[in-house]
Amino acid sequence: MPDTQRPLAVTLQVVSIVLFTFIGYLNIGIPLAVLPGYVHSNLGFGAVIAGLVISVQYLATLLSRPYAGRIIDNLGCKLAVMYGLAGCGLSGVFMLLSAWLHDLPGLSLASLLVGRLVLGSAESLVGSGAIGWGIGRVGAQNTAKVISWNGIASYGALAIGAPLGAMLVDHLGLWSMGVSIILLALVGLLLAWPKLAAPIVIGERLPFIHVLGKVFPHGCGLALGSIGFGTIATFITLYYASQQWSNGVLCLSLFGASFIGARLLFGNLINRLGGFRVAIACLSVETLGLLLLWQAPDAHWALAGAALSGFGFSLVFPALGVEAVNLVPASSRGAAVGAYSLFIDLSLGITGPLAGAIAAGFGFASIFLFAAIAACCGLALSLYLYRQAPRQRQARPAP
């Protein structure tokens, strides 16, 4: 991309690509608020299993990241995104099967788990593929913009998908979510097919384990900051039910709206102030929001805590991600995005069962204190990395 290209043109091109992230994450968001309650109340399993149904998707994403990175770097980002969209559609088939087997709880749960595994693998292809596709089309100098808009697409889709899924199930039943996911995947494939692919970067491909080592500290900061999102996404509806409050799904939507608003308003701060400074500020705000959720005396304060948490978490991924991706050559960018994103998968995969166990022992409110402590640890790590940044810059590869 020429450096003289207008910022608006760059933004429009980025948005046209992260549209596929939006479609992929809409498929993830639609069952997000419904499945924990369905597994817990309808199928009769405990809070830990309800958390596992959500978290197994993130574990699948975690395990598939290296393979997704190889597809992106060797076969191209467009093909990776299309593979991912096809996987989303297949997960919808298993959702349909689970709905049909609702009278057989064990088989219904098994079908849900298989579908979540497929969806998790698809997520790694769509999310990382869209970032690489966007960077390849608009240039590495716009990395922060691509990652920020990709996050807006993903969390905006989650904010829309959660209440949409609840509405579909309330009016039509669980089967309607499966049909919706299949149709959305088909629409995404039809839109992606004619789009121009990004050129495959020629150069040495660093081993994934080497790339992982380079981005490891930044990924740990991301993982600690992501626990707050994982606890809200998985347990906010059950937390509201335990407090006898209504409209728990609204917390997910408000979290997503605050997340998007912060990225739209302050996304450019990463290039102006640097990734570490922005991450430090954001993790501080997220910690305050999670503490507010922990101590919320009523539903209104809980909404405020969710909004503050979403606002704080908004720029953690791109802020630390820009610093991480710049540590490797362009030919291994797909592996770097995949390795860095792996940490949010690991965080969300562990959070579900762990937070479920904490909730079972200490109540649902306690999981937000756990998440706040984790975010505070991420803040301390980001401060350390900021102090080490001059030495890291000297070790970066030449453009």
Q: For position 187, what pLDDT does the model report? A: 95
C-alpha dihedral over 180, 184, 190, 196, to 10 degrees? -170
Whether the CB-CB separation of 111 and 98 falls below 8 Å is answered with yes
Is residue 4 classed exposed, middle or buried when 0-12, 13-18 and 19+ CB atoms within 10 A define those classes?
Answer: exposed
**Degrees, nearest 5: CA angle 15-19-20:** 135
> Closest by alpha carbon to 132, among 91, 84, 90, 86?
84
> Closest by alpha carbon to 310, among 293, 288, 333, 286?
286
Sign of the torsion formed by the C-alpha atoms of 271, 272, 274 and 280: negative
Which DSSP letter does residue 103 get? Answer: T
Q: For position 272, what pLDDT does the model report? A: 83
> Closest by alpha carbon to 257, among 314, 336, 205, 179?
314
Q: For position 3, what pLDDT does the model report? A: 46
Q: For position 222, what pLDDT does the model report? A: 93
Q: Rounded to an integer, what is the distance from CA 328 to the centroid of its chain?
A: 22
> Closest by alpha carbon to 87, among 111, 116, 128?
116
Sign of the torsion formed by the C-alpha atoms of 262, 263, 264 and 268: positive
Q: For position 1, what pLDDT does the model report? A: 43
What is the set of domains in the chain, with CATH numbers? 7-394 (1.20.1250.20)
pTM: 0.71
Is residue 31 classed exposed, middle or buried when 0-12, 13-18 and 19+ CB atoms within 10 A define those classes?
Answer: buried
Q: For position 5, what pLDDT does the model report? A: 62
Whether the CB-CB separation of 248 and 234 falls below 8 Å is answered with no
Q: For position 4, what pLDDT does the model report? A: 47
Q: For position 396, what pLDDT does the model report? A: 53
Spans in the chain with pLDDT lower than 70: 1-5, 201-205, 331, 391-399
